[in-house]
Structure 1
Amino acid sequence: MKKVTIYTDGACSVNPGIGGWAAILMYKTVAKEISGGEAETTNNRMEITAAIKGLEALKQSCEVDIYTDSAYLSDSFLKGWLTNWENNGWKKSNKHPVENRDLWERMIQLTAIHKVSWHKVKGHSDNEFNNRCDELARSEIKKLKKQLEPENKPEDPSEDLK
């Protein structure tokens, strides 16, 4: 079974708002960067999406080490939250529905294919791959902001009153 390392990150301009995600997949000496974004999302959705996209990019079952700075993402696996949510009908301990259920269900499918180990890294520190993922995710936000800006901003009607 191939051993792959994936670094992930997600970001939002405001939460909720325009978001970006990124993953770096590493196998032996080869690294591949992938990234994307969404117009209306949350930082947590982008964190999960980064891991999903990283796992979806794998063409066969692999042994995967995923490094994330998201406690929400890593703790969902490391502390058993995801298993509890699923067993409780997608309800948290306070009986409220689990947010991002659609993404968690996809994550369950993907982690059944691969042997995944989760690792929490400190964000915005000296981890070059986490920092690079952050750069890529923020770049996706900038790209989307530019695409979503109107081509010709309407003129300010108060200009006619001067």
Structure 2
Amino acid sequence: MSAAAVVEVFSDGACLGNPGPGGWAALLRYGNVEKVISGSERDTTNNRMELMGAIAALEQLTRPCRVHITTDSQYVKQGMQQWLPRWQANGWRTADKKPVKNQDLWERLAKAVARHQVEWFWTRGHAGHPDNERVDRAARLAAERQTQDA
């Protein structure tokens, strides 16, 4: 992998009810090589699944990379770009002194990001972005599998 090469990641999460059965998915692309990954949980929230899509994608990478992550979740993008440093500095408390929700996944995402040079991008969900639509379908299918397995 050359120093200028970029791994593109498109991640998404879905939840059938909130909370309820949920799924996440990510598309990793390096040049012409693509890999789609997905997973699910029986009882979760949409925000947790959005986080898991990004986490799982980054954890797939076996060496430090430049990574462009596109998500339709402002929660994930803003969390990583704006809120995370304050939460860490405030002992995982929000501005109004409440515990940060999903701290376990934010810590896991922060650890996964630390190995890489990551840039975050946002796209509007369900707006026709082909890669976002693709991971949205995969995340939904993963969530639906939880209802079939129940």
Whether TM-score is above 0.5 comes out as yes
Q: Distance in 1 between matches of 2:70 and 2:87?
A: 22
Mapping 1:54-73, distance limit 5 Å: 54-73=57-76
Pairwise CA RMSD:
0.7
Q: Name the residue aligned to 2:129.
A: 127
Tell me, what secondary structure is at the counterpart of 2:13?
A: strand
Structure 2 residue runs of 5 or longer lacking an equivalent are: none
Greater RCO between the two (CA within 8 Å, min separation 6)? 2
Q: What percent identity do the matched residue pairs reach?
A: 45
Query: What do the CA deviations read for 1:120-156 (whole angstroms, capped 9, x no partner)?
Result: 11100110000000100110111110000xxxxxxxx
Q: Distance in 1 between matches of 2:144 and 2:17?
A: 12
Paired amino acid for 1:108:
A
Tell me, what secondary structure is at the counterpart of 1:102?
A: helix
Q: Name the residue aligned to 2:113.
A: 111
Structure 1 residue runs of 5 or longer lacking an equivalent are: 149-162
Q: 4+ residue stretches of structure 1 with deviation over 6 A? A: none
Q: CA deviation at 1:11?
A: 0.7
Q: Name the residue aligned to 2:86.
A: 84
Q: Name the residue aligned to 1:38.
A: 41
Give 1 or 2 for the bigger CA radius of gyration.
Answer: 1
Query: What do the CA deviations read for 1:57-110 (whole angstroms, capped 9, x no partner)?
Result: 1111000000000000001122x2011001000000011100010011111111
Q: Distance in 2 between matches of 1:90 and 1:127?
A: 34
TM-score by length of 1: 0.89
